[in-house]
Amino acid sequence: MTDPLLAVSPLDGRYAGRTEPLRPYVSESALARARVRVEVEYLVALSDLPAVDRSLSEDDRERLRGIYEAFDDEDARLVKRIETEGYGEYPATNHDVKAVEYFVRERLPADLAGVAEWIHLGLTSEDVTNLAYRLLLSGAVEDVLLPALRDVRDELAALAHRHRDVPMLAFTHGQPATPTTFGKEAAVFAARLGRALGRVERARGELAGKLGGATGTYGAHDAAFPDVDWRAFAREFVEGLGLEFLPLTTQVNPGDDLAALFDALRGANSVLIDLARDAWLYVSRGYLAQRAVEGETGSSTMPHKVNPIDFENAEGNCSKANSDLAFLADYLTTSRLQRDLSDSTVKRTVGGTLAHCLIGYTKIGDGLGKVAPDADAMAEDLAANPEVIAEAVQTILRREGQADAYERVKELTRGRRVTMAEFQELFSDLNVDESVREELAALTPEGYTGLASDLVDELDEE
């Protein structure tokens, strides 16, 4: 493998350790293997048709499937060599799917050489490639991205339950507002991410494939074997791969399913961008204390610093991924007439986009694992902003029939800092029952968190 220091992209360089789990799904070798799988399974499926005079035994099928099951890096290099240089009787194809077809022929067991003419029968390259990409994308999302997102969701839920009762000043428009608890705010993000996860899971399950030939008409299939129900065959084959079936297409799969998945991932990333920014702000206010890692340097010139770099990295990578996901969702759903090839090179960038997602997910997980709410700092800020009980004061007074309650409290508090003593003075001037005066006097910023603690339990209902 190329020295990471010489990599063109940081995805295979600086961040290679974080993106490595995606290699079995987004590398060139992975694509070649997936294409070989589709070609072999198609050959096996053809052998079940009565019109095809070439049945395969169970042993034959196992040996054929071994071609892709045992596919390794050396096999991938051979596919590439057939494409670019040629190999044996095959001249350079300058065509990656044709190279896969010749590779399968090259790997056929000697006693099965007679089935070579059935490989890729009636197919266009897009039949193989659209299925291969979706098999890989489904696996990458299911096995790599979703577990990483679930880890973040679970960490948020744990923080929510652990710190459900820690009171914290809230901010709306950047200004002190009705207090909340840290646990409730963590629960909001856990719930949002949980819903986003559901959308990603559904979109992954709705990935769909086509197998209709050069222009989606089954032209070659029907010409060679007009008595075969090719629509039923194609449906069974595609669904047998675990994908939904698209009966109406041009040469290309229109990609609407990819757009839905990319949009769902973008939604999850947007939640994490919002989370990363809020966590950054809480760190800057001292509400979240960061654990210093022994030996790390926070600044090249300021030795005291512990920077929220994990949240910053998460925000940057999720933002980059979202830009790419929006582009992919838009670009891969367009094709001139029945087919143009501009999507081919664009699809090869999907792996990089998923890699930015994964870096973002793992970075935000690292960040959450290094912080804890500083209850003392939060309490200090609450005590310094007693005006936030104004909402409760005016609401209780309105309950008691004080028509000018809002205006009186506004006059006392709007645009200025007030003290609890000034509130007590206001309470003493009110024409209310003593029980109401005592109710008002008992109000404190740290105690004015409503049902915030109980709302954390809503996570258990999600």
Active site residues: 173, 299
Rounded Cα gap, residues 214 and 63, in angstroms: 29
User: What secondary structure does DSSP assign to 140-158, as a single string?
Assistant: HIIIIIHHHHHHHHHHHHH
Rounded Cα gap, residues 140 and 20, in angstroms: 11
Single-letter residue type at 201: E
Element (H, E) at 336: none
